[in-house]
Chain A
Amino acid sequence: MSLALRTFSSVKDANTALQVSGTRYLGGGTLVIRAANEGDVSVSSLIRVTDPGLSQIAVSDDKVWLGASVTMAAIARRPELAALAPAARAVGGPAIRNMATVGGNLFATAPYGDFAVALLALDATVATEDGEMPIETFLAGRDTSRAIVTAVGFSLPKAESFRFLKVSRIKPKGISVLSIAAHLQRTVDGSVTSARIALGCMADRPMRAKAAEKALLGCKLTPQEIAPALAAAVEGIAPITDPIASAWYRAEVLPVHLGRLLLT
């Protein structure tokens, strides 16, 4: 059997075709074609959708909807999305960013999926043919999900309240040792009133650092006051081990990098 591609103009029709076993959805190709090239013979059929709506970026007031086929490059060059540009630019090199999509990033297993880490910190909503759901729910069930993602929505963060960091061993960029996204609301005097922190490479998919979030409440971003949050960052993590770093190493450096992110 060879690998066969079927093209649909509507998500609805494609979604029906996707229910056949051995079928995968083709977004930018950086995950599924890679798997096929590497000898993954479990995929025999690919589905893609040409609906231009999937490539739309809609920004109104502070609400953003990114179509599932929107590429990292398209996000990085959109002025209104400047707060997200560092996360979009953290994905791959220039060619990968011209191909890799928002929808695909939601399915990328660690060490990939840095943009989804940012989306998790933003408490994004994932829209599929079956309806909308919080990103956390989506990520938890993504392995068995058969519904095509159509868009991701979120409230645009104020630039100063959103921070993103990807750590890699190769400069200017390489595969993640870890990535961290933090969405913080603070009072005028700098005390944290709400915190949402998402971590990449600390499990097979993006996860929240809930203990650290809680420990940050009421804190000012000083080395002394964030220390309990840094200590709590490792709670519940199960970092991956790969050729880039061991689970042990990732756990050891997580508090260090979280500290750097919070203190910048």
Chain B
Amino acid sequence: MELRKNYFADVRKDGLHEIGQPRPRLDSPGHVTGKTAYFADRNFPGMLHLKMVRSPHHHARIRSIDTSEAEKHPGVARVLTAKDVPHNVYTILILIQIGPEDETVLADGKVRWKGEAVVAVLAETERAAQEAAAKVKVDYEVLPAVFDMEEALKPGAPLVNEHHGQNYYLYDSGECRKVRFGDVEAGFAMADHILEQSYQSSPIEHAPTETTGCVVAPEGNDRFTCYTNTQAMFFTLDNTSIILQMPGSKLHFVGGTVGGGFGGKVDVIVEPIAILAAKLTGRPVSFIYSREEEMQVSSPRAAEKVVIKDGVMKDGRIVARKVTGYTDAGAYSRHSPYGAQKGAAHYPGPYTIPNVWIDTYCVYTNRTPSSAMRGFGVTIGDFALEVQMDKLARLIGMDPLEFRFINAYRDGDMKAHRQPTEGAALIECMQEASRAANWPVAEKYMAMSSYRKGA
């Protein structure tokens, strides 16, 4: 690896001992010897296995649930329904005051997506739990469902989630997150060209090799040790404390070793119900998603739709950008109100544009609830923005890399959210990319710097 020392020569420090040197990973010796302890490597005598009965419908009212046959099945220790969960309606981000609580641990009266948890069955073996789960009878009245964000926002669309009252998340700023900077209509009026394009993406599953799960052991002192592969240890502990109405001091979470997460293990899904089961049975409980559950039930990256309208001058300056973003939360919020908000913060991209208007909506549909995944709220936006940048460059007959130099943000520039730019390095990255990719740009761009004179 070669370090180019000509960039930021005045601020760089060269007395570093670690950069550029290989350092062994602390966890590798455990990995290569098979000694690393993942949550499922814990095994306790008398452990029960939890299997979930899930909704086969996208949207339905539950008329009745009959667990009597399942309870009588050999090997079954306990069957749990909504009434067993102390605080059944929750939302993860309530910890940072982002409500309302809108999701059930076990469905109560209604299911809002295909795969929603309805009844938990606990048995001596996985097989017995599967057999008993097949004997749970749920009588559903199927309701109209909506799967498309724009359909969901239309008047008269089926209401997905009564806790919201409408099919979008109501921010303190209203029906969407908004950014207003300059006068976007004036910018369009002065532009030489206007380009409006629409971009969309499908949900993406993280597909970690280790599926989501936890193993819970009741301790003698009325505490519960939860071995989990959560990526959000304290979020999970605190939410479990709320859901189970149990002081956090009763909960001991052991984790940190995750067999692939990529953001897919930040939801609070398996731990509360498994700890509740351990509490009600007094026995250790294992709840591990099957591969099918991991692929179909765990939260994916949200589907997104991004509409970008840009005004651009013949000389390459973007003078106005209007973005409407839609994030498909699925049936419940989880982390999606935050994801949509991140989009609002991100959409101008790393470019200095004097007139910006952004609206981002978090929309509810009867799809699998989405949540975090590597740069959620940003990644799909970047795809849309950079494809848009190439199209704009083509529209005005300019080299796409030079077009980005013209619009790149530099130190001191005011961003659309009224934060002055600091520590920018986009110009230097593009200069290096120009060399590495053998994509030459005019000398004046190679002479640019992220520092503006006088900044």
Contact = CB atoms under 8 A, between A and B. Distances in A.
| A and B: interacting chains | yes
B127 A2 contact: yes
A39 B51 contact: yes
B93 to A, nearest CB: 31
B85 to A, nearest CB: 24
B127 A38 contact: no
Secondary structure class of chain B's binding surface, majority of residues = helix
Contacts, number: 20
Contacts of A36: 127
A3 B127 contact: yes
Interface in A1-60: 1-3, 36-39, 41
Interface in B271-317: 290-292
Nearest to A40: B130
Contacts of B292: 38
Interface string A233-248: 0000000000000000
A1 B74 contact: yes
Nearest to B292: A38
Q: Report the contact-size class of chain A (Cβ under 8 Å from the partner).
A: under 10
B125 interface: yes
B390 to A, nearest CB: 26
A41 B134 contact: yes
Given A38-B290, A39-B290, A2 B125 contact: yes
Nearest to B74: A1
Contacts of A38: 290-292
B131 interface: yes
Most B CB contacts (10 A, CB to CB) among A2, A37, A39, A41 go to A39
Secondary structure class of chain A's binding surface, majority of residues = loop
Contacts of A1: 74, 127, 131
Interface string A166-186: 000000000000000000000
Nearest to A41: B131
Nearest to A2: B127
A262 B432 CA distance: 48
A3 B125 CA distance: 11
A152 B51 CA distance: 41
B125 A41 contact: no
Interface string B15-58: 00000000000000000000000000000000000010000000
Nearest to B132: A41
Interface string B55-95: 00000000000000000001000000000000000000000
A41 B131 CA distance: 6
Contacts of B128: 2
A41 B130 contact: yes
A246 to B, nearest CB: 13
Contacts of B133: 39
A246 B131 CA distance: 32
A192 to B, nearest CB: 43
A1 B127 CA distance: 8
Nearest to B124: A2
B68 to A, nearest CB: 18
Contacts of B291: 38
B73 to A, nearest CB: 9
Most A CB contacts (10 A, CB to CB) among B127, B128, B292 go to B127
Interface in B306-347: none
A3 B128 CA distance: 10
A206 B279 CA distance: 52
A3 B130 CA distance: 12
A2 B290 CA distance: 18
A23 to B, nearest CB: 16
Nearest to B133: A39
Nearest to B129: A39
A3 B126 CA distance: 11
A2 B51 CA distance: 16
B377 to A, nearest CB: 25
Contacts of B51: 39
A38 B290 CA distance: 7
A39 B130 CA distance: 6
A2 B74 CA distance: 10
8 contacts: A1-B127, A2-B125, A2-B127, A2-B128, A36-B127, A39-B130, A39-B290, A41-B131
Interface of A: 1-3, 36-39, 41
Closest 4 pairs between A and B when the two form their complex, measured CB to CB: A39-B130, A41-B131, A41-B130, A41-B134
Given A36-B127, A41-B130, A41-B134, 6 more contacts: A1-B127, A1-B131, A2-B125, A2-B128, A39-B290, A41-B131
